Amino acid sequence: MAKPLQAGMEHLGQMIFHLHTQGFEESIFQFVRYFLDIDNETILIYTGNKRPRIIHRRATVMQVHERLESDYVLGAYLLDPFYNLHVEQAPAGIYTLSQVAPDQFKRTEYFSTYYRRTTVVDEMVYVAYPSPHVSVHLSVGRDAASGQRFSKRELARARELEPVLRAISELHWANLHSNDNNDKTSEPDAFRERLESELGICLTPRQAQVALFILRGHSSVSISLRLKISEQTVKVFRKQLYRKCGISSQAELFSMMMPVLLKIVAQRTP
């Protein structure tokens, strides 16, 4: 199905991207699908710290997007490793799940209650920035039906499309701007405030920071490297915050914190 890139290039002249029109997203999808064997595609736009907006989506299997509006957009995205690219304003480019996922990502509750149920087995995301703090994520993936992860060859091919996709994405969405002058509180701070007002639990800044890392699937070692502290210290913070919350596992942390995260997000209309 997928042709060598050279062959595609010949056709590129005939592929017309109607910027600023309805059909643009669909033509992006058709363009990618011409070169890559993919089962599903999603275009998301993140603006400042607002909720993501779904711009376009296609999937051969229903499950892939089943919880996209209900769970992902409403708050689960905060734990998505790809969302982190937007937060950190990582360089534009193409990213695979294995590149961005923390070391213990597959043991998170986000993974088992959300990601696994999408049946997606592999995912690549094209990241572009039409303007500061506005990210366009073009996600393409494989699901359990085909079952195959992307090969190195496919990744290389996907990478070749990246400059073109980035250019036309940034052109098409250039009019989008983020007015993030309000809500300057950092994420751990907002998290702490909500946690205290909602559940009456008062974490220290460090404990809140560690909690968020844990929820996203970082191991103690991974957190220690990020925060430049010892692994032992991370374990202490983990213990302390678990004790304050009256829980004893990452899974319980998730079921306790998700409602709090949702409330942080709720006031941010996209």
Partner DNA sequence: CGGGGTATAACCCTAAGGGGGTATTTTGGC
Partner DNA sequence: GCCAAAATACCCCCTTAGGGTTATACCCCG
Helix axes 220-227, 205-216, angle to 10 degrees: 130
Identify whether the C-beta of residue 155 lies closer than 8 Å to the C-beta of residue 146. Answer: no
Q: Is the dihedral of CA 151, 53, 33, 10 positive or negative?
A: negative
Does position 198 interact with DNA (CB under 7 A)? The reply is no
Whichever of 31 and 242 has its CB closer to DNA, that residue is: 242
Does position 251 interact with a second copy (CB under 8 A)? The reply is yes
Q: Which does 112 bind (CB under 5 to 8 A by kind): DNA, a second copy, none?
A: a second copy
Does position 112 interact with a second copy (CB under 8 A)? The reply is yes
Count the residues of the shown chain that bind a second copy, applying the rule CB under 8 A.
11
**What secondary structure does DSSP assign to 9-25, as a single string?**
HHHHTT----TTSTTHH
Q: Closest Cα partner for 128 from 74, 180, 85?
A: 85
Q: Which does 194 bind (CB under 5 to 8 A by kind): a second copy, DNA, none?
A: none
Identify whether the C-beta of residue 106 lies closer than 8 Å to the C-beta of residue 113. Answer: no
Count the residues of the shown chain that bind DNA, applying the rule CB under 7 A.
31
Does position 109 interact with a second copy (CB under 8 A)? The reply is yes
Which residues from 113-142 bind a second copy, rule CB under 8 A? 113
Does position 207 interact with DNA (CB under 7 A)? The reply is yes
- String of contacts with DNA for each residue 236-255, x by CB under 7 A: xxxxx-xx----xxxx----
Instruction: Select from 31-39, 44-52, 82-90, 248-256 the region that touches a second copy (CB under 8 A).
Output: 248-256
CB of 234 to DNA, least distance (A): 8
Phi/psi zone of residue 93: left (φ > 0), alpha (ψ -120 to 50 degrees), beta?
left
Does position 98 interact with a second copy (CB under 8 A)? The reply is no
E-only strand ranges, the chain: 40-47, 53-59, 93-96, 120-131, 134-143
